[in-house]
Chain A
Amino acid sequence: MLSILGALGGLILAPFAGGLLSGVDRRLTARLQSRAGPPLLQPFYDVLKLFGKEPKVTNAWLVFSAYVYLIASAFSLFIFFMGGDLLLLFFVLTIGAVFQVVGAICVPSPYSQVGAQRELLLMLAYEPILILVFVGFAMCTGSFMISDVFRLDSPLLLKMPLLFLALGYALTIKLRKSPFDISAGHHGHQELVRGVQTEYSGPYLALIEIGHWLDLVLILGLCALFWHTSGIGMCILVAASLFTEILIDNITARLTWQWMVQKQSLLAGMGFALVNLLWLYVA
């Protein structure tokens, strides 16, 4: 009972944390480009403004998809805070991603359609990596439960350093950071207008944005699991991953989808993950 309440509390706090982190992201990005940048609370202003806008929708599926995406993101974060099953978390997260594609594909806009195809390619690129990382967790702890990670004595980073790198790849792709922002660009870099999010507007775009914050918190939480033995270690790991993401976002150009799926994801990401899994198997 206490754990359910704790997880619910975490779920309520998560959008605030995600929004703040996204504000830090925009501010750091601006500084890296020698600009002053928006206020730290800018993402909250954006979302509140979007909630106040006139709801204009192309069809009902779009609204449904926005809600399913938000609920799937929230539910997978809830599973994470409960210390639940990694595989279940993975499947719920995938439902959210699939419904974002469904929402983009059910409208006639060509930008949205192409964005949806590219989003499917993104999923093809990050999902195998994510599942291999979870297999690594299972090989170290003997189960897919997140709560079992906390029974270990030494940080997982020592056993799965390459899997952490592979998770970094998956993180960049899932958050649609450059060089993997082929399906929709963030803060003002346009790709296909706004790719999968082109047709969402007003309050429904705000729902998508909040879902994105929850995803950010979830993925950074997964990074934190690699150093579960100390709170300071978790903070260092989360801060380092976030900063590296933002740095890579600013110094790389957008890849073509062939490069992303074949070279970057399959060769590099899966390569790292498989080498680490073999090492765990042998050791």
Chain B
Amino acid sequence: MRFVESMIKKSRLMSPWMIHFDCGSCNGCDIEVLACLTPLYDVERFGVVNTGNPKHADVLLVTGTVNHRNRHVLKQLYEQMPGPKAVVSIGACNLSGGVFKDSYNVLNGAHTVIPVDVFVPGCPPKPEAIIDGVITALGVLKAKMGMGPAPEPALMPGDADAAKPAAAFGES
């Protein structure tokens, strides 16, 4: 039984199926995410499959500015994923709101809605950086399974003051 358990834990690190959710970005980050799947970068080497289905996915890749409309979709997608799961936040807009930070319609990053494990900064980040982010997310999963040290909670500079979602337009 112990052998099966250790095999399952090992397999989790060998087959991270991903789902990619675009919270309304300029498509720069999305193109870089999809570039990881092309023959040049071939992320399937690590067992990554782009499932497009939260019920099959282990890793959620989020791009784009989170706003008051799509934060519900983001939260629902996250809740539909069966555990253990990891979230990778990609690109400046998704990390902190980017150039739209503190706008009335924008939330300052996906971490204000769901727990984010790995931040990949860049506008847009290179495919290499995104692959590195996914592999780091596997390290986070490993820590969650008790197979390694817990990673430091990663916050971007200036995020401490933006922990709460801004009030929606018209709300008090």
Contacts and interface: CB of A to CB of B under 8 A. Distances in A.
A36 B42 CA distance: 7
Given A44-B11, A52-B12, A188 B55 contact: no
A35 interface: yes
B53 A48 contact: no
A184 B127 CA distance: 28
Contacts of A46: 11, 15, 17, 47
A42 interface: yes
Contacts, number: 83
A200 B54 CA distance: 11
B123 interface: no
A38 interface: yes
Secondary structure dominating the interface of B: loop
A205 interface: yes
A90 B44 CA distance: 36
A37 B42 contact: yes
B151 interface: no
Contacts of B50: 188, 190
A263 interface: no
Contacts of A42: 14-15, 47
A172 to B, nearest CB: 22
A45 B47 contact: yes
B45 A45 contact: no
Nearest to B7: A48
Interface string A41-69: 01011101101111110000000000000
Given A42-B14, A200-B55, A54 B82 contact: yes
A253 interface: no
B56 interface: yes
A26 B55 CA distance: 22
Given A42-B15, A49-B8, A37 B44 contact: yes
A201 interface: yes
Interface of B: 7-12, 14-15, 17, 37, 39, 42, 44-47, 49-53, 55-56, 58, 80, 82-84
